[in-house]
Amino acid sequence: MTQGNRGKVSLETVKKLVPTRAPAVEIQRYDNGLTITVRRSDTRLARVLSWFFILPLSKRFNLDKHGALVWDLCDGRRNVEEVIRKFGEEEKLERERAEPSVLQFLTMLSGRRLVSFMAPGLGRPPSGSQAPR
C-alpha cells in the first residue's frame, strides 16, 4: 500500500460500518433538535495545559432535527447503509439526496469524536477507524 492510499476506504465498505455514539456525552433534547455536551477529560496533559491556556471545561454541539435524527440512528445496531435508508424514509428524500447528506454529517460527527465506526459483528471500532470519505 502506498502512502497516498493509506486510510482510504471504499464507499461500499463504509456503508457496512456501524456508527456508534460516544458514550461520555450528555444529551439535552429540544422540540427542534438536541444539544450534545462533551466534558473535557481530566488528564494530566489537560491539567498542565490549563496552567498556560484557558481550556473550556466542556464543548457543546447543537444539532437541528435532521442532525438529531441521524444521531439517534447511530445506535450501534444499524450500519451506515441502514442509517441512510431510514433517514431518507423519515425525511421523505430520495436516496441520491439522503446519502451524501448523511455521509457528510457522519464525517463531521466522527471528526469531532462524537461517533466512531465499528466493523459489522464486532463490539469495537476497526483499527484506524476514521470518518467516511
Domains and CATH numbers, the chain: 13-117 (3.90.930)
Burial of 87 (0-12, 13-18, 19+ CB in 10 A): buried
pLDDT given at position 1: 40
pLDDT given at position 127: 46
Q: State the pTM of this model.
A: 0.76
CA 48, chain centre distance (Å): 29
Determine the Cα–Cα distance for residues 108 and 62; give it in Å rounded to an integer. 13
15: Cβ–Cβ under 8 A, 6 or more apart, which residues? 79, 80, 81, 84
pLDDT given at position 6: 61
pLDDT given at position 54: 74
Ranges of residues in the chain with a pLDDT under 70 are 1-7, 46, 55-56, 121-133
Determine the Cα–Cα distance for residues 67 and 29; give it in Å rounded to an integer. 12
Q: Tell me the three cell numbers of residue 83.
A: 442509517
